[in-house]
Structure 1
Amino acid sequence: MENENYLVATIKPWNIKVFNEVIKHYKGKWHLITEPAEITVDKIKSISPKYIFFPHWSSIVPREILDIATCVCFHETDLPYGRGGSPLQNLITHGHKETFVSALKMSEELDAGPIYLKKPLSLEGLAEEIFIRTANIVAEMIKTIVTENPKPKEQVGKSTLFQRRKPSQSKIPTEKNTLIDIFDHIRMLDAESYPKAFLESDGFRYEISRPALKTGEILADVRITKIEGDRND
């Protein structure tokens, strides 16, 4: 009998929502893991999935897990371009307006596995809007993989590597000298659990979110907090 057990491992609310609303209703028996600590050999063996899908997963998956089942992750670049961390933010920083979501078989080398399929993705909007759009595209890709069982193909072309961004890089750089550059910096960080764009001045931090680019101005929400260590009260 064909194995129809499938597992989705994700930590982000937009992916969890799409799993509950869409993916778990696909043919087969679907399981969800939302904590990295749950990815254990015993747990995976008890489920015995044909595929493990890792949408928006940032933890290292151990080699012994890769050996148990076919593991598939999703990367927001046209691989092999843009392997590595913070793909969405790096793409926007480099001026990209569109990209692809690549579904690839996971290997020990980061984002280097063979590709199952790719789908186009617009980079318009706030980061969370892009992530929600990505989650729905990933759901379509998962359906294609489990119904058609495509054979993944090795990546072709010169690889480039993105570096994972640090929270300190959320500070709006002084060299950003156009409203569009500042708008892009704010929007690419505007998602739940991401360090918001910020400025600091005279002991205060100004976290900026929900930007709207207007003619000659940016309208946004600002959260003002006292910087720790600079409290005088």
Structure 2
Amino acid sequence: MQKNNISNLNIIASTMPWNQDLPSRLQSLTGAKFQMISSPEELTAERLWQWGPKYIFFPHWSHIIPANVFENFECVIFHMTDLPFGRGGSPLQNLIERGIYETQISALKCIAEVDEGPIYTKRPLSLYGAAEEIYLRASGVIETMITEIVADNPKPVAQSGEPIYFKRRKPEQGNLLFATTLEQAFDYIRMLDAHGYPHAYIDVGNYRLEFTRASRKSDSITADVRITLKSKNPEVEQ
């Protein structure tokens, strides 16, 4: 049975460092209470029943949300595409790889089907800059969206249009050998330049060269390079 309450408490569930101050900022903006959950182990139905939140917001959460959580609490997730376009994993990287530099952040209700829930609201987002810059920019947009949802309690509306699906990217897709132009290489570097992401790379002999902080020139790219032994690179999903 779904929890029905008029609680003044809301939850922010995020593992990313740029969202750790979000609860305190939202509390100042809205007057409502916000509690942070920063690991999947904390996201349990038992704990949430004790807290009784009105909303659980998931800005940049890449873990599975348990069914007994989204079935009993109003869970709002944020997806960096204009849904139903771009359902699925690695939305930022898939958009930039397709040459898309302006998108919408969709706030949607979490349901069993991935990224198919009804939409509360959408807001535009620029995809220029390095990935971490984009995520920081998105965090500001999401902060505004959460403020509006808490204040207005909008009823989510079913998605409309033909769905387009993205596949979660794998670390080997960040290999710069796949880039055929300087612009593509620049996009590969910047779209993976964020905390927790495997960076764009090239393997040379026994070494892996990882690239960050790229700057685009008319006929070249300037970037920072980190050199490691290939055997020291764990396989991490994007």
TM-score, structure 2 as length reference = 0.92
Give the corresponding residue for 2:198.
195
**Residues 17 and 173 from structure 1, CA distance in 2 versus in 1: closer, same or farther, beyond 3 angstroms?**
farther
Q: Secondary structure of 1:208's partner?
A: strand
Question: Whole-Å Cα distance in 2 between the matches of residues 205 and 80 of structure 1?
Answer: 37
Give the corresponding residue for 1:61.
65
Give the corresponding residue for 1:126.
130
Superposed counterparts of 1:1-233, under 5 Å: 2-20=6-24, 22-25=25-28, 26-174=30-178, 176-228=179-231
Structure 1: unaligned runs, 5 residues or longer: none
Q: Please give the root-mean-square deviation of Cα atoms over the aligned residues, in Å.
A: 1.3
Question: Whole-Å Cα distance in 2 between the matches of residues 146 and 18 of structure 1?
Answer: 14
Q: 1:183-233: CA deviations, max 9, x gaps?
A: 00100000011000000011111000000001211000001112229xxxx
What is the number of equivalent residue pairs in this alignment?
Answer: 227
Amino acid in structure 2 at the alignment position of 1:12: M
Question: Whole-Å Cα distance in 2 between the matches of residues 18 and 169 of structure 1?
Answer: 32
Question: Whole-Å Cα distance in 1 between the matches of residues 63 and 6 of structure 2?
Answer: 30
TM-superposed CA distance for 1:30, in Å, is 1.1
Question: Whole-Å Cα distance in 2 between the matches of residues 128 and 19 of structure 1?
Answer: 20
Q: Is the 8 A contact 1:8 1:30 kept in 2?
A: yes
Question: Whole-Å Cα distance in 2 between the matches of residues 35 and 126 of structure 1?
Answer: 25
TM-score, structure 1 as length reference = 0.94
Question: Whole-Å Cα distance in 2 between the matches of residues 77 and 228 of structure 1?
Answer: 35
TM-superposed CA distance for 1:173, in Å, is 3.0
TM-superposed CA distance for 1:67, in Å, is 2.1
Q: Is the 8 A contact 2:214 2:221 kept in 1?
A: yes
TM-superposed CA distance for 1:69, in Å, is 1.1
Q: 1:20-61: CA deviations, max 9, x gaps?
A: 4x2232311211100100011111111100100011001111
Between stretches 164-173 and 127-136, larger displacement belongs to: 164-173
Question: Whole-Å Cα distance in 1 between the matches of residues 75 and 43 of structure 2?
Answer: 12
Q: Is the 8 A contact 1:18 1:136 kept in 2?
A: no
TM-superposed CA distance for 1:157, in Å, is 0.1
